[in-house]
Amino acid sequence: MNLENDRYRLSGGVDPLDLVEEFGCPLYVYDAAIMERQYKRIRDAFKVKRLKINYACKALTNINVLKFFNQLGAGLDTVSVQEVEMGLHAGFQPGEIIYTPNCVSIEEIEEATALGVRINIDNLSILEQFGQIHPDVPVCIRINPHIMAGGNSKISVGHIDSKFGISFHQMPLVQRIVESTGLKVEGLHMHTGSGILDADVFLRGAEILLNVAKDFDDLDYIDFGSGFKVPFKEGDIETDIEELGVKISERFNDFCEEYGKDVCLMFEPGKFLVSEAGYFLAKVNVIKQTTSTVFAGIDSGLNHLIRPMFYDAYHEITNISKPNGKKRFYTVVGYICETDTFGINRRISEINEGDVLCLHNAGAYCFSMASNYNSRFRPAEVLVYEGKGYLIRERENMEDLMRNQIEIDLGSKGEPTSKGSEDKKVLIDQLLKGTS
Ligand SMILES: *Cc1c(COP(=O)(O)O)cnc(C)c1O
């Protein structure tokens, strides 16, 4: 989002306040041009014979976002059979989808296998079961290289006691299962977690994986996962993708030469591709001053964007209604009935009630983690594509909240008796029909 003549603009000159006008608030807005920029950056950073960038779609699963990445030539990284089905619906070929679940049932893995996608196995028990049932279906194996990375224990998944992957110390066991079942291993994979700070951590993991790879004869691809870091505020360290590209490409090309085959290099970024493309827009309901703090209470909460509360994530907040006002300090909070603070003591352009605030970096793990807590509707989503904003998900309504709930007969105590409750029933019926 750029500031031009006192107004913020998205790609193609789209004014975010016009989108709020048209689609209401709170609103998620995604800028397709930024997704494309990020995709091309990572694609162009690696100079190898075969490269595939698989979009880790748990970051943002709107079907249009999936279709957009499909159009760009990406593959898809999925973590549930439902994500697999969405990927197929979006037009990805089964061979372009890799399924990387953790602690799911063998039945779910069977479902994904039946859909023809690539199966990435991350524990010995499943590897053994799978090998016995499907010795003919090639698999990928998720290796844990025990590289500690990432800024938060919830998203750091490569350390020694992590539940993810098969320890590279257990490779003899893997080899024994492969030999006894006749399983074909077509890929090796690692994903050390979100928020890798420097190229060297990545290279350490890569070195371990390439070392393991030498012992497998039929590899078609090696997947280095993700964890690419993007800036959330000015001065933030970002993964230097270009530097990483140079270093990894050189190492990988050497490996292919030794291995005697052009193995495909894969990555599976989520955050890197969509974080910066997303904006969350919410109106200020109240300004509330206490003895020491000025609160700006917005028309949203941890139900819509939980990362600040869940991960202590920092999301830049700007007042897009008044870009150039005098800067003052605000603590921006939500309306949920527990502490849901989006940002403490932020310098923001002077806020009045009714102004629209923008939370930046709201593309990854924001809408996809949204819930109906406090019986609130989840927001609408808009995709800005070639100079126009398209509604890609409707705002929820009362019907969505009631869907799947089954009202049982609780006897006379549950029946409306007085006139008052009859009126209430009529009102609820009207709300459900959307005619209030
Ligand atoms: C979540 C996840 C990713 C994406 O991580 P980002 O930090 O969003 O890039 C990639 N691979 C796997 C297996 C994941 O679970």
Instruction: Give tens-digit pLDDT for 401-430.
Output: 999 999 999 987 655 555 556 666 677 777
| Ligand 1 atom showing the smallest separation from residue 275 Cα | 8
DSSP states of 121-176: E-SHHHHHHHHHH-TTS-EEEEEE-----SSSTTTB--STT-SSSEEGGGHHHHHH
**314 in Cβ contact with 275 (< 8 Å):** no
Domain 278-401 in CATH 3.75.10.10: no
- The pTM of the full predicted model, rounded to 2 decimals, is 0.92
pLDDT at 431 over 80: no
The Cα–Cα gap between 228 and 231 comes to 10
The Cα–Cα gap between 253 and 261 comes to 10
pLDDT confidence tier of residue 84, bands split at 50, 70 and 90: very high
pLDDT at 181 over 90: yes
- For residue range 99-118, list pLDDT tens digits in order: 999 999 999 999 999 999 99
The Cα–Cα gap between 236 and 65 comes to 26
Which residue has tokens 């202590």?
A: 312
| Ligand 1 atom showing the smallest separation from residue 273 Cα | 9
The Cα–Cα gap between 58 and 67 comes to 14
Domain spans, the chain? 46-274, 278-401
The Cα–Cα gap between 332 and 284 comes to 9
Mean per-residue pLDDT for 211-222? 96
**In the prediction, which pLDDT does 200 show?**
79
**Single-letter amino acid, residue 265:** L
Choosing from 141, 190, 191, 361 the residue with most ligand 1 atoms within 8 A of its CB, the one to mutate for a pocket test is: 191
Distance of CA 214 to the CA centre of its chain: 32
Kind plus residue range of the DSSP H or E element containing 251: helix 241-259
- 381 secondary structure, DSSP code: E
Domain 46-274 in CATH 3.20.20.10: yes
pLDDT confidence tier of residue 147, bands split at 50, 70 and 90: confident
Look at the alpha carbons of 156, 161, 164, 165 in this order and tell me if their dihedral is positive or negative.
positive
Going by C-alpha positions, the residue among 279, 272, 363, 214 that lies closest to residue 54 is 272
- For residue range 256-293, list pLDDT tens digits in order: 999 999 999 999 999 999 999 999 999 999 999 999 99
Paired strand residues for 321: none
Mean per-residue pLDDT for 349-362? 98
**In the prediction, which pLDDT does 393 show?**
98
Strand 139-144 and strand 7-9: the pairing is unpaired
- For residue range 42-73, list pLDDT tens digits in order: 999 999 999 999 999 999 999 999 999 999 99
Residues having CB closer than 6 A to ligand 1 are 56, 58-59, 77, 79, 100, 191, 194, 225-228, 268-272, 364
Choosing from 79, 226, 239 the residue with most ligand 1 atoms within 8 A of its CB, the one to mutate for a pocket test is: 226
Find which of 237-246, 294-303, 424-433 is predicted with most confidence, using mean pLDDT. 294-303
Choosing from 35, 38, 55, 58 the residue with most ligand 1 atoms within 8 A of its CB, the one to mutate for a pocket test is: 58
69 C-alpha to ligand 1 centroid (Å): 16
pLDDT at 151 over 90: no
The Cα–Cα gap between 184 and 368 comes to 34
What tokens were used for 210?
């390439």
What tokens were used for 287?
């300004």
The Cα–Cα gap between 53 and 42 comes to 8
- Range scoring the smallest mean pLDDT among 5-9, 329-333, 380-384: 5-9
In the chain, % of residues over pLDDT 70: 91
pLDDT confidence tier of residue 436, bands split at 50, 70 and 90: very low
The Cα–Cα gap between 203 and 196 comes to 11
The Cα–Cα gap between 431 and 436 comes to 5
116 C-alpha to ligand 1 centroid (Å): 22
**Single-letter amino acid, residue 344:** I
Q: What is the mean pLDDT of the chain?
A: 92
What tokens were used for 223?
């997947």
> Which protein residue's CA is at the shortest distance from atom 2 of ligand 1?
56
> Which protein residue's CA is at the shortest distance from atom 15 of ligand 1?
79
Query: Which whole-number Å values give the CA distances from 111 to 57, 71, 95, in the listed order?
Result: 19, 26, 15
pLDDT at 346 over 50: yes
Task: List the beta strands (DSSP E) in 16-150.
Answer: 27-31, 51-56, 75-78, 97-99, 118-121, 139-144
239 contact partners, CB below 8 Å, separation of at least 6: 196, 197, 198, 199, 202, 227, 228, 229, 230, 272
The Cα–Cα gap between 375 and 339 comes to 17
60 C-alpha to ligand 1 centroid (Å): 11
pLDDT at 194 over 60: no
Task: List the beta strands (DSSP E) in 253-337.
Answer: 264-267, 278-289, 294-298, 317-319, 327-333
| Ligand 1 atom showing the smallest separation from residue 79 Cα | 15
Better pLDDT: 434 or 9: 9
Q: Which residues carry out catalysis?
A: 337
| Ligand 1 atom showing the smallest separation from residue 364 Cα | 8
pLDDT confidence tier of residue 336, bands split at 50, 70 and 90: very high
